[in-house]
Structure 1
């Protein structure tokens, strides 16, 4: 009996500096190798939002070495699930892919206190996604 294929999830937001970085970090952390994770932005920033880095550090996740990446057609084509977070029509559409749009506040320009509730909501959504993908969250 062969193992089920490992799903690939792509998180997309405009700057790839906040929401998509948090979602990718949580999915990587909670998925523990059972999901391939990517993130990208339609107009990537120069660096990840420092308040986002701090908010994730508070829950034991270090993304200080991450950098925003540009969204490519190949990244979408190679993903099973594409989750957008306020990128509008910038994300290419391919039939047969699963698309989700998570409505989340943008942490851009916000301090860590404003980022925490966004972080917590993203963690909740990622845990739900793991359940939907049939891989479950580590430590849940």
Structure 2
């Protein structure tokens, strides 16, 4: 990782419709302009999970305009940190890239009541990642 450049973080889950979208939104919210943030899915859905959109809106983060994106080898290779959330072996591995795996429940098919604890766990993990990167979270 180039110490003078903002670190690049890629969040990956299967559908890029829930967990990775929430994680990317939190990282963007807590470190605006200080981290390059991307998310992708190994089998992207057509839209972000509506219960996920609602759960994020409840805490003041709007992800309703986000669109699930397909995971590419280029996205992985150009990232300093790749955080996987249940995508199994679908994520390509490259030397020099740091990989983290966050075992999280999949919000697919869940209502907002079930999504809230997943959202809150992701928020705490993103805060921990920022601390690990030496970046102070914006309150």
Q: What TM-score do the two structures reach when normalised by structure 1?
A: 0.96
Structure-to-structure mapping, 1:67-78, within 5 angstroms = 67-78=67-78
State the number of aligned residues: 137
- The whole-number CA distance in structure 1 between the counterparts of 2:131 and 2:120 is 17
- The whole-number CA distance in structure 2 between the counterparts of 1:41 and 1:23 is 13
- The whole-number CA distance in structure 1 between the counterparts of 2:70 and 2:136 is 29
> Does 2:17 match 1:17?
yes
Structure 2 SS opposite 1:130: helix
Structure-to-structure mapping, 1:49-68, within 5 angstroms = 49-68=49-68
Structure-to-structure mapping, 1:32-111, within 5 angstroms = 32-111=32-111
Instruction: Give the superposition deviation at 1:51.
Output: 0.2
Instruction: Give the superposition deviation at 1:5.
Output: 1.6
Partner of 2:119: 119
> What RMSD, in angstroms, separates the aligned Cα atoms of the two structures?
0.8
Unpaired runs of 5+ residues, structure 1, are none
Structure 2 SS opposite 1:56: helix
Instruction: Give the superposition deviation at 1:4.
Output: 2.6
- The whole-number CA distance in structure 1 between the counterparts of 2:23 and 2:74 is 20
Structure 1 SS opposite 2:82: strand
- The whole-number CA distance in structure 2 between the counterparts of 1:137 and 1:129 is 10
- The whole-number CA distance in structure 1 between the counterparts of 2:128 and 2:34 is 15
- The whole-number CA distance in structure 2 between the counterparts of 1:31 and 1:59 is 16
